[in-house]
Structure formats: structure tokens, C-alpha cells
Chain A
Amino acid sequence: MSVETMLFWLFAILTCGGAVSVAVSQNVVRMAFSLVLCLGSTAVMFLLLGADFVGATQLMVYVGGTVVLLVFGVMLTATGPFTKIKSSGADAILSGLIGVIFLFIISTTVTAVDWGDISQKVAIGTHQKTAARGFNPEQQGNTTRPLGLSFLSVRADRDLNLSRNVPSVEKPVEDAPKLSSGYLLPFEIVSIHLLVVLVGASYLARAKRRVATNQ
């Protein structure tokens, strides 16, 4: 077992442990801390897998942003009865059942995919490592540029001709690369969605003026 695999398992266990302790713990502040552990370990797993941009975003958005907001919410609301959350036995059974069903759905979905085949295809499509030198360059992902380009609708890493015509050393692909179109449209849709959410939030949070009635 290589070091990466061992580290991956370590952080996978930390992620799961954090998630379980969020559900099990009854103190709101400890829950928030377990959430930090869970989300932070997920970010480290992304980094270990070479998805450095996603890992950094996970840290920035979830651990540094959402959890801080959550802890602020906890601090402002947690008075007396709300600091301890105690669920009844029926609640625990019901939520446990839902959790088990969800776990079953996810595990069957994940095991149904042939990951070896997919990772081979991905490896063929994205085999450029041209980064500045540093410690252990093989593990550094460097996914920012391809990600940014694909959001601008140019997927430099993905040649549609490659999937039909798997290249090898003795038989390289002769066809001109046919670039796939990337994610500009989904990106724009998400932006508009966020705009709608912002407008809705400001509508809900507006100062409500009472209409003067003639009574």
C-alpha cells in the first residue's frame, strides 16, 4: 500500500468519523466542529487525488465560509434549550432507516460503474503536466487552467476523436483534434440561478413597512 493510499484512507476515515459525529453529537458547537473535520478531510482527499482547485474551493467555500456562517448562527441562536439537541427514539430509528437506504442507493450506484475504464479514458485525455517545479510535481494536479478554459467553452484537455480512437505510442492519432464544447451554458445557467437566489433573499430580508390603514 503506497503512502498516498494510506493517507487517503486516513482522511476517508476522518471524513466518515466527522460525518457520524455530526449526526450523533448533541452539542451544537461540537457538531459544527465535526462538520469542519468532515469537510476539511474531504478537501484533503480532493488534494490527494490531484483535484487541487476543487480541494481549495471546498476549503474556501465550505470550511472557511459556510461553517463560519453556521457557527455565527449557532452563537446567535444557541441559548438555553437549543444548545443541546436531543432526539427521541422514534426519530433515531426513522433517520437511521433513511440513512441506510441512502447509503444503499449510493453504494450500488458507485459500484455499478467501471472505474478502471473511466480513469483510463481520463488519463488519456489529460496527460499534460507542465507546471513550475516543486516538491513532488506528479501529485500536484494543476487543474486551474483546464477548468477555466472549459468554463469558457474550450476544453483543451478533451479531444472528442480520442474516445473512438484510443492512441498508443506506436499508433498516435492522426486526425485533427475535435474539441468538445465545454460548460459555458451550464455555467451561465448557474450564474442566473444564483442571481435569482440573491434577489429572492433580498426580497425576503427587506424592511417590511406597515401600510397605514384608516381605522
Chain B
Amino acid sequence: MDTLLAANSLAEFLQTQTIPICGCPIDATTAMVLAAIMHVALVGAWFGLPAGLFIWAERKISGRIQDRLGPTRTGGRFGWLQSLADGAKLIQKEDLVPADADGLMFRLAPYIVVVASFAAYMVLPFSDGWSALGLDVGLFLTFAILSLEVLGVILAGYSSGSKWALFGAIRESAQMVSYEIPMAICALCPIITAGTLNLTEVGQLQSGGFWNWNILHPFNFFAFFVYFTCATASCKRAPFDLAEAESELVAGFLTEYSGMRWSFFFLAEYASMFLVSGLATVLFLGGWDDGFGILSVVKANAGSFVGNALGLVIFMKKASLLVCVQIWVRWTLPRLRIDQVMTTCLKYLIPISCVLFAGTVAYPLILVKVSGNTSILGGPSGDRVVQPHQPMSQADTVPNKPTQMTAATAERSGR
């Protein structure tokens, strides 16, 4: 157990272990493959489980908002097995492909959407350092992968061989593509404040207390709300779901889909709802930080693993809360018209986000001129602890010194 806690990564831990039956050691390649499988399984579980949970939550919350009960009987009480029952029903449905459809493309399109929203989970840090890839380009890669989702929507609409689905796809993709712009600009605001694209580092910088969270930065505060609006729109959620408005317009680009392929689109929708909420949590709401310094006390007393596990719980709570807000908004606000959707984005959200971006850039510069410091509270917010990777063999002898990450120190330490 101690070696598990000391290892920098799963692969490194596995290399110190032996295979139980034959007793032979695990070499680096096998360890890497095993660790990769574990990571994929973990991220896959986070991809699948919240989707099921949030579909149930959506039914319950929408029921309560409309003065109904929602599901009550499935699974004993509260209808908590409703998502599973839905899934069982959808699997049994016939897998239809229309005669006019391009069969291969029609079957592929749901997978493109699912893979796009699943792959973006790679770089999302669930707790301090708990991300499958701690990339320097974390946020950039997330947005790059999320932009692939549009492709699945267009292909789904086009390959259906139906004009209705094609119209739905064009409207949907126009909405998704245009809302990506203010969303990305607003996500850049906390990045400017943090000075790094690495999502783990952005989270670390907001540790220590809620006064360090980016949302209390004057410009990031507004950026958060613009980001959240755009994220709701890019997830195709109401009040922006007019392209697939189920009750009025059949289902937009989903018209020809049925059964499991149809439900893949919804699985991806709920997964990306959680993903954008998780991104909002890391960028604006302090990530895995509890806000009152409890986490650092836990880390000091019970070890970093327990602390990180607690951080995971905090992160999930924050992100789930944001998903619940999305559900709440969906069942409260009426749907916009397509021209109103485009006006909101192009005439309001893009200029607002540009102003916020410029403000975020100018804010620390003005503060430096006025008070000689880059923040009101004095001292940089949070602590950015970047630990260079050390193999376990050296970790015993060399103390693991945290280094301030600047290009200059990186240059010096490399020599």
C-alpha cells in the first residue's frame, strides 16, 4: 500500500509488483498497458455512471418542478433504477436504418459523438493530479475534442436520407459552432488569470480558500455566467434545444434514429453536460478545493491519497450541482426561437466575452500600476506546486522539492 501511495503513476506502481500466480515481475510495457486499461475503465465508468444518474435526476427534478412525482416504483423507492429500465427497453428496440440512408455513415455517427465527448474526459482533473493526462495543453485539447461532436451531428443528419433530419442537423451545428466561440473565449479568462493551460495547475492555483477561486475575480465572475450559458447551448440543452425540440419538432437530426443508437446521442449529451460542468468547476469554482482549508488539513494528517479522494468527492459535488442547475434551467425557461438563439450568441455573448477577455488581461496590469501587486489580497493566490517527474528509485534518495514553474527555472534546472 505504501508503494501505491508513493508512486507517481499507476504504471510506476505496477512495475514494483509481481504477477500473483507465476511470481514474475511486471516489465515497463506490461505495466503501461495495464495502467492504461485501468485508466480507460475508470474514465469509462465516470462517463457512463453520471449519465445514468443524471437521466434519473432529470426525471425526478422535472417531475417536482411540474408538481408531479416523477418515477416512484422502479427499483423499490424513488425510482432510482429508472435509467437502467430505460436502457433495457432501448436495447430491445429494433435497430432501424432507413432505406434512403447511407447505412455505414448512419451507423457510425452516434459513435463519433460518443467518442468525442468520452475522449474529452482524458484531460479533466478529478482531483489534485488525478487526470488521465496531465497535459500542458489540457484545455486546448478539450476544446479541440469537443469540436468534433459537431461532425457526428452533421453526419447523423446528412446520412439519414431525410430532409427533416438534414435541416435539424444544419440548425444544430450552426448553433454548436457559433456558441463554441464565446465559450472558448470565456474559458480563456481564468486561463489568463492562472497563466497556464494545464487544468491541474489551474485547480492548484485556486487552492487554500474560497477567496482564491477564480469566480471571485471581477471579470471571471461574469465570464463564468457567459461560459455556463454557452456550455448549456453547446450541450444542446433547453432553452437552446430548438433544433431537436422533442415535443414540437419530432427530434431534429435524431428523427430517423431509434433504440440504442438514439440513446447513444443522449448518453453523449449527459456526459458532455457533466464535462462542461466539470470544466467550469476547475476553471471558476476552485476545482477540488473545499473553500475553507479543510482539504489541506486532511492532506497533512491523513496523507495525500485520502486528501485527493476527498477532493474527488468535492469536485463531483460541485460539478453535479452545476448539472442540476442545467436541469433546473431546462424545465423552467421557455425555448428560444432560432433567430433569438443566434442573436443571443452573435450580438450579445461574443461582444460580452471579448470585453471580459480584454478586462481579464488588463486587470492585473492596472492593479500593478495602482497598488504594486497583481491581486487585491496581496501575494499570488493559491500555490502552484509543480513537481518534476522522478522515478521511484530516485524518490527515496532525492527529496521531492517543489519548484516554481517558470521558463527561466525550467531552463536552469534542465542544465
Binding site for B on A (CB under 8 A): 2-3, 27, 29-30, 33, 36, 40, 52-53, 55-57, 59-60, 63-65, 67-68, 71-72, 75, 127-138, 140-146, 149, 154, 156-157, 172-173, 177
Contacts and interface: CB of A to CB of B under 8 A. Distances in A.
Given A57-B144, A59-B145, A30 B136 contact: no
B325 interface: no
Interface stretch (B58-66, B126-134, B226-234, B341-349): B126-134
Contacts of A72: 154, 170, 173
A53 B9 contact: no
Given A52-B135, A65-B147, A135 B104 contact: no
Nearest to B153: A68
Contacts of B141: 52, 55-56, 59
B11 interface: yes
B155 A134 contact: no
Interface residues of B, number: 58
Interface string B350-389: 0000000000000000000000000000000000001111
B132 A128 contact: no
Interface string B1-42: 000000011110000000000000000010011011001000
Given A136-B11, A156-B411, A131 B147 contact: no
29 contacts: A3-B29, A30-B105, A33-B155, A40-B148, A52-B141, A56-B144, A57-B144, A59-B141, A59-B145, A59-B147, A64-B151, A71-B158, A75-B158, A75-B166, A127-B414, A129-B389, A130-B388, A131-B136, A131-B386, A134-B9, A134-B129, A134-B135, A135-B131, A136-B9, A137-B9, A140-B136, A144-B137, A145-B136, A173-B415
Most B CB contacts (10 A, CB to CB) among A56, A63, A127 go to A56
A116 B239 CA distance: 57
Given A36-B151, A75-B170, A131 B134 contact: yes
Contact of B134 (A3, A134, A145, A156): A134
Interface stretch (B197-205, B292-300, B314-322): B197-205
B313 interface: no
A73 B145 CA distance: 22
Contact of A128 (B129, B133, B155, B410): B410
B88 interface: no
Given A60-B143, A64-B147, A137 B134 contact: yes
B177 interface: yes
Given A29-B105, A68-B151, A75-B166, A140 B387 contact: no
Interface string B385-396: 011110000000
Contacts, number: 160
B135 to A, nearest CB: 5
A133 B136 CA distance: 11
B415 A172 contact: yes
Interface in B155-209: 155, 158-159, 166, 170, 173, 177, 197-198, 200-201, 204
Given A130-B410, A135-B39, A52 B415 contact: no
Contacts of B154: 68, 71-72, 75
B266 interface: no
A133 B389 contact: yes
Given A33-B108, A59-B148, A68-B177, A132 B159 contact: no
B386 A130 contact: yes
Contacts of B155: 29, 33, 71
B212 to A, nearest CB: 17
B150 A64 contact: yes
Contacts of A145: 136, 407, 410
A75 B170 CA distance: 9
Given A27-B102, A33-B108, 15 more contacts: A3-B33, A53-B140, A56-B137, A56-B144, A60-B144, A72-B173, A129-B389, A130-B413, A132-B129, A134-B131, A135-B132, A138-B389, A140-B136, A141-B135, A144-B137
Contact of A132 (B36, B105, B386): B386
Contacts of A128: 410-411, 413-414
Nearest to B115: A40
B386 A64 contact: no
Given A130-B405, A135-B39, A52 B136 contact: yes
B136 A63 contact: no
B174 to A, nearest CB: 9
Contacts of B332: none
Contacts of B72: none
Nearest to B184: A60
A59 B116 CA distance: 11
Highest count of chain B CB atoms <10 Å: which of A55, A64, A149, A172: A64
Contacts of A127: 414
Contacts of A135: 9-11, 35-36, 39, 131-134
B403 interface: yes
Top 7 A-B residue pairs of the complex, sorted by shortest distance between their CB atoms: A134-B134, A64-B147, A128-B414, A60-B144, A59-B144, A142-B136, A137-B389
